Structure 1
Amino acid sequence: MLALLVRFAVPDAVAAARFDALLAAALPAVREEPGTLLYAPSTVPAEPLVRVVFAVYADEAAHAVHDRAPGMSAFLAELPALTTSVRVEELQPATLIGSPAPLDPAPHREAPPCP
């Protein structure tokens, strides 16, 4: 099992909107990846220019398949221009309990406008 916590900092609201759009476009394919056990992109309400993704993959091969998927490779290609920093933490989960229900694709809360 491979678990990643990835924190993305974006420079402004325009970059945040593009980041969100690219990631949203990739999500339908991510839902179909058999080796992706959990994929949770999130916003940080207290930090509107931060995005976080928590992902759990069956193994490193499943993560490689994920990165090569067309929607994800398009997202990764634009990532350097959209971020001021990316921090990847590899986690070692002891176990994964349960299977979360799919999230409603509609946003539940909008991030406040950037200054």
Structure 2
Amino acid sequence: MAKPEIEFTATSSVEFSPCIPPVDGLSEAILARDDENGAVTRILKFAPGTDTSPAGVLTHDFWEEIFIIEGSVTDQRLNRTFSAGDWAVRPPGMEHGPWVSEHGAKMFEVRYFQNRE
């Protein structure tokens, strides 16, 4: 089923749950999901002190677009800190992370697959 039709809704109405695979301090609120193709819109939350190093450097087979709503995260591989208002577009296969968030952060994220036919 495609992502559902949803009129303006308070994000506070969507509960956060641990990410899969789990990382201590990292949680997500799924705003919309297409179970057929794996596209997801979510808010990703880093609790203060979250360190994703155990997950290592990430790559995936989908596009990922991210906007930092509040707080900041430091990319340990790049040794750079990104803050509220910063954004990224990551094509499939792009390496990113691991991340540390000293004071916490929230990000708006859209994941999708692009048809290459």
TM-score normalised to the size of structure 2? 0.33
TM-score normalised to the size of structure 1? 0.33
Structure with a larger share of its residues in strand = 2
Larger relative contact order, structure 1 or 2 (CA cutoff 8 Å, min sep 6): 1
